[in-house]
């Protein structure tokens, strides 16, 4: 029969102070690892901002990047993506938003995005290209269609299906891309 | 009838700020980007008939440096326009890995400020007459596959390695 003291003993075994301490210790490790990882993310972002951002923005604002082969700046961006995908995406998103008014920058960044591996960018690239479809500049819109065309996914299809573009040649191009995606993904 | 084919960027010639249909004063980006000369020459590809357009398309996408396949826009015009408009052309070796097609390349040569304007007029005429085509990425891949597997005119191994993996 369990006495009161036995109950406390039992109860104490249930809430084993040793086990709880180890849980706390484990939690502390997780938290400190998170902190370390958060810190390293901040450092990585600072590294991009200090070492890469100026040359990246300046290149995209002042050069017309070739579409048929990769520029050195694209290789460097790809390297950053492979090093830390999430921070690079976050940084690129900020850069994209803050330069949305600069047509040359937008055309070039869409050229780069279109040539990057879609697995690397995932929905981020789709959102960027989707927002470019509503830009007033025709060349920006054309580059956005090209990104969707290169990625050839159901998400691309959804975005293109829901927009109507001018001038006519651009809308024709979009419709042809739509038809190609429908055929390749068997959507009809 | 023989035609000369040249790649352009349609968006530079037909956009929210410029209406090519009734304005001869093309934007400078169209001139400096699509009609950028090297040694005062502009590159074109010759086809004997419009049904041979795929030959010119293949030449345009099989250059030795080409790494990607992207939708292209092109114009084509009667080769007689060159003489009629006082321009001159010269046969030169084209940058394509398809050796049989290298001889289809012609440079519009000795261009200057005035004659480059004549070429600009040719481009505008092509757009107005709809002597223009957009070839999407999927069609380009189909053309490349056909040239490797069926007509066997293209040896895939001669293409840039990155391009080889893309179709």
C-alpha distances out from residue A43 to A30, A87, A127, B99, Å: 19, 10, 26, 52
Q: Which of A39-43, A51-55, A166-170, A180-184 has the lowest mean pLDDT?
A: A39-43
C-alpha distances out from residue B18 to A132, A167, B34, B136, Å: 20, 11, 15, 24
Within 8 A of A150 by CB-CB distance, chain B residues are 70, 137
- Does residue A120 form part of some domain? yes
Q: Residues A123-135: pLDDT tens digits? A: 888 889 999 999 9
- Does residue A37 form part of some domain? no
Distance CA B131, CA B115 (A): 21
SS3 B135: strand
DSSP single-letter state for residue B41: B
C-alpha distances out from residue A31 to A20, A36, A43, A84, Å: 16, 8, 18, 20
Q: Residues B92-150: pLDDT tens digits? A: 999 999 999 999 999 999 999 999 999 999 999 999 999 999 999 999 999 999 999 99
Q: Please give the residue of chain B at the shortest CA–CA distance from A149.
A: B137
Is B12 in Cβ contact with A146 (below 8 Å)? no
Interface contacts A/B by beta carbons within 8 Å: 57
Residue A18: is its pLDDT beyond 60? no
- Does residue A137 form part of some domain? yes
Question: How many residues are present in chain B?
Answer: 167
Q: How far is A150 from chain B (nearest CA, A)?
A: 8
SS3 A28: helix
pLDDT at A119: 84
> Can you state the angle between helices A53-62 and A72-83, rounded to 10 degrees?
140
Of B14, B70, B138, the CB nearest to A146: B70
Range of the domain at A159: 43-184
Distance CA B105, CA B34 (A): 17
B141 in Cβ contact with B147 (< 8 Å): no
Residue B55: is its pLDDT beyond 90? yes
Within 8 A of B15 by CB-CB distance, chain A residues are 137-139, 167
pLDDT at A14: 46
Q: Say how many Å lie between the first and final Cα of chain B, rounded.
A: 32
What confidence tier does A11 reach under pLDDT thresholds 50, 70, 90? very low
pLDDT at A62: 96
B72 has which bridge partners?
Answer: B135
Is A114 in Cβ contact with B11 (below 8 Å)? no
Q: Residues B37-46: pLDDT tens digits? A: 999 999 999 9
> What is the residue whose two structure tokens read 């406390």?
A8
Closest to B74 in 3D by CA, of B100, B39, B116, B43: B43
ipTM: 0.93
Residue A122: is its pLDDT beyond 50? yes
Longest dimension (CA), chain A: 89
- Does residue A33 form part of some domain? no
Residue A9: is its pLDDT beyond 50? no
pLDDT at A22: 59
Residue A165: is its pLDDT beyond 60? yes
Q: Residues B17-32: pLDDT tens digits? A: 999 999 999 999 999 9
- Does residue A180 form part of some domain? yes
pLDDT at A68: 86
Residue A15 makes CB contacts below 8 A (sequence gap 6+) with none
Q: Residues A38-83: pLDDT tens digits? A: 679 999 999 999 999 999 999 999 999 998 888 999 999 999 999 9
Query: What is the count of structural domains for chain A?
Result: 1
Is A138 in Cβ contact with B66 (below 8 Å)? no
Is B67 in Cβ contact with A173 (below 8 Å)? no
Q: Which two tokens stand for residue B117?
A: 């304007």
DSSP single-letter state for residue B20: G
- Does residue A63 form part of some domain? yes
pLDDT at A180: 96
**Burial class of residue B163 in the structure, from the number of CB atoms within 10 Å of its CB (0-12 exposed, 13-18 middle, 19+ buried):** buried
pLDDT at A3: 46
> What is the residue whose two structure tokens read 């048929």?
A68
């Amino acid at each position: 029969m369990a006495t009161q003291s036995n109950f406390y003993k039992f109860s104490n075994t249930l809430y084993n102070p040793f086990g709880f301490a180890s849980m706390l210790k484990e939690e502390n490790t997780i938290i400190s690892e998170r902190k370390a990882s958060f810190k390293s993310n901040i450092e990585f972002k600072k590294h991009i901002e200090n070492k890469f951002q100026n040359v990246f923005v300046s290149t995209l604002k002042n050069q017309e990047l070739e579409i048929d082969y990769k520029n050195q700046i694209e290789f460097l961006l790809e390297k950053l993506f492979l090093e830390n995908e999430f921070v690079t995406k976050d940084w690129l998103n900020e850069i994209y938003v803050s330069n949305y008014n600069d047509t040359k920058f937008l055309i070039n960044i869409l050229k780069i995005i279109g040539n990057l591996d879609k697995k690397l960018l995932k929905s981020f690239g789709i959102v960027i290209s989707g927002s470019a479809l509503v830009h007033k500049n025709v060349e920006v819109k054309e580059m956005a269609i090209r990104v969707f065309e290169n990625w050839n996914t159901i998400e691309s299809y959804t975005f293109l299906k829901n927009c109507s573009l001018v001038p006519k040649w651009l809308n024709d191009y979009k419709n042809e891309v739509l038809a190609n995606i429908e055929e390749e993904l068997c959507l009809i | 009838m023989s035609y000369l084919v040249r790649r352009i960027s349609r968006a530079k010639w037909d956009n929210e700020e410029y209406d090519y249909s009734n304005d001869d004063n093309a934007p400078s980006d169209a001139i400096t980007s699509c009609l950028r000369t090297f040694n005062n020459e502009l590159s074109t590809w010759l086809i004997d008939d419009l049904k041979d357009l795929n030959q010119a398309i293949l030449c345009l996408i099989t250059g030795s440096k080409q790494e990607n396949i992207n939708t292209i826009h092109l114009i084509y015009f009667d080769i007689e326009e060159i003489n009629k408009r006082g321009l001159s052309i010269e046969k030169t070796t084209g940058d394509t890995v398809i050796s049989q097609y290298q001889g289809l390349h012609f440079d519009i040569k000795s261009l200057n400020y005035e004659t480059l304007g004549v070429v600009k007029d040719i481009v505008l005429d092509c757009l107005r007459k709809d002597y223009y085509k957009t070839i999407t990425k999927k069609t380009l891949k189909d053309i490349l596959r056909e040239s490797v597997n069926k007509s066997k005119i293209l040896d895939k191994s001669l293409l840039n390695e990155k391009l080889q993996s893309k179709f």
